[in-house]
Amino acid sequence: MLSVTEIRSLSELDSLADDWSRLWVESAEPTVAQTLDWYRAYCRTSPSFIEPRIIVAKAAGDVLGILPLVLKRGSFRDGSPRILGLPDEPGLGLCGVVGKNRSATLGSAMTYLRHRRADWDVIEITERTLDGLSGNRVHTAMRFAGWRPATQAVGSLGRFEIVARWPDFLAETDATTRLSLYRSQHNVGHDNRYEFVRHRSGPTCPGSADDIETLLEEAFHISGGPRVSQTRRDFLKEITQSLSADGRADICLLYRDSLPVASMINAVVGDRVVSIYGAVTDHDRTTVASKLVQELLVDGGRRGDRDVTWSESDDHPLDGWALERLPLSQRVCFAKYSTKAQFLRIGRAASQLWHRNETPTRPAPELRVVGT
């Protein structure tokens, strides 16, 4: 028998910490965005955050899965709707169900929300679809709860494996990238103007708070690179400090003539490096990015890293270097307003959300629990 409880206070999170950690390990391809550290960092730094709405699914009294939702305020030209969704930071990472019983957790959570008085205008959940994970569970759970959601594809994920030799890596790239690199990178590997600095926290090298703060500030101030909003800075500082305490923070900086020209802020998940932020100078970008990739391959091979993944973005130094591209996610939305006019009063949060269906199209199936 499944039951659901809801947490609406940050002070109650400590009581869930052990179960959260256990379920995170059991999750399919767990990401740093599914951790309790990420959730807390988002709640502490996001200006749109209103309050936590963590849905906890239980079976026979044991925690089966966690859907870490938040209530946040949207900001659109037509208004400021109240959005119930995941603590996603665009371009930084994607959250999701914590635990291996994703279908049962989503099904029970959507049914629970469907039968409670809605104090939100839009429910919007981004579902990860990478690494063969099914991208239809959220949509299916909403439909069985009696809603008619709309979906929209969002972004892609880039990845390359750490290989032993730079020529082996280049052999895997496409011809256009390889030719562009050769034209711009004459003897860059022996250019003494460049310096690569990497800090990875761990039992033997935790790094002081001041050292990490200095590295982060330099990572944000890339010469000729993109500007970083104060909100994003606060979030990245918060999550990096939390990851550092657990030995999972990783910061990479590439200097040219003593000025930072490329940076990456990463999380270490097992033998994978997950980049949650990156920036590169606009001046001679290909040369700078290729030098950074070379250093990552050499240093990552020495550390035993398996691969590097990142959300593809024009601002990221690894943009265009992916040896493999995967669909990253799809956004599933439902608005509780029945007409377009009603929805426009509180803001246009997504397209094709002008309908409402109060009657389920089919009876809800029995929710299966794995491993119980």
132-171 tens-digit pLDDT: 455 678 888 999 888 888 887 777 788 899 987 777 888 8
Residues 132 and 147 in one domain: yes
Which among 168, 178, 283 is positioned nearest to 224, based on CA atoms?
283
Residues 213 and 299 in one domain: yes
Q: Are 12 and 114 in the same domain?
A: yes
Give yes or no: residues 53 and 153 share one domain: yes
Instruction: Tell me, yes or no, whether 183 and 152 share the same domain.
Output: no
Residue where the block lists tokens 């629970």: 112
pLDDT of residue 342: 46
Cα–Cα distance measured from residue 148 to residue 141, given in angstroms and rounded to the nearest whole number:
10
Residues in the chain: 372
* Residue 221 Cα distances to 207, 315, 368, angstroms: 21, 13, 50
The share of the chain scoring above pLDDT 90, in percent, equals 41
3-state SS assignment for residue 48: coil
In a domain? residue 357? no
Q: Pick from 149, 143, 71: which is nearest to 107 by CA?
A: 143
Q: pLDDT at residue 366 above 70?
A: no
370 against 319, higher pLDDT: 319
- Measured between alpha carbons, how far is 8 from 10 in angstroms, rounded to an integer? 7
Answer yes or no: do 121 and 185 share one domain.
no
**Is residue 371 assigned to a domain?**
no
**Beta strand segments in the chain, E:** 2-7, 49-59, 62-73, 82-85, 122-128, 150-161, 194-200, 249-256, 259-269, 272-280, 307-311, 324-335
Domain identity same for 253 and 297 = yes
CATH of residue 262: 3.40.630
What is the tens place of the pLDDT at every residue in 97-115? 999 998 999 999 999 999 9
Containing structural domain, residue 26: 2-157+327-346
- Taking CA 6 as the corner, what is the angle to CA 4 and CA 10, rounded to the nearest 5 degrees? 150
Residue 73 within any structural domain of the chain: yes
Q: How many domains does the chain have?
A: 2
Whether residue 7 is predicted with pLDDT greater than 90 in this model: the reply is yes
Whether 290 and 342 share a structural domain = no
Question: Tokens 């949509």 correspond to what residue?
Answer: 139
Residue 162 lies in a domain: no
The predicted-structure confidence for 214-236, as pLDDT tens digits, reads as follows 999 999 999 888 888 898 999 99
Q: Are residues 67 and 25 in the same domain?
A: yes
* C-beta of residue 108 within 8 angstroms of C-beta of residue 125: no
Residue type for position 58: K
What does 278-301 look like in DSSP terms, one character per residue? EEE-STTHHHHHHHHHHHHHHHHH
The reply to whether 20 and 147 lie within a common domain is: yes
Q: Is residue 270 part of a domain?
A: yes
Give the DSSP H/E element, type plus range, for residue 102. helix 102-114
Does a structural domain hold residue 362?
A: no
The answer to whether position 168 is within a domain reads no
* Sequence-separated (6 or more) residues with CB below 8 Å from residue 287: 184, 185, 188
The answer to whether residues 253 and 189 belong to one domain is yes
| CATH number where 333 lies | 3.40.630.30
* Residue 288 placed within a domain: yes
Per DSSP, 135 falls in state S
Query: Residues 233, 284: one domain?
Result: yes
> What's the whole-number mean pLDDT along residues 160-186?
76
The pLDDT-based confidence of 23 (bands split at 50, 70, 90) is very high
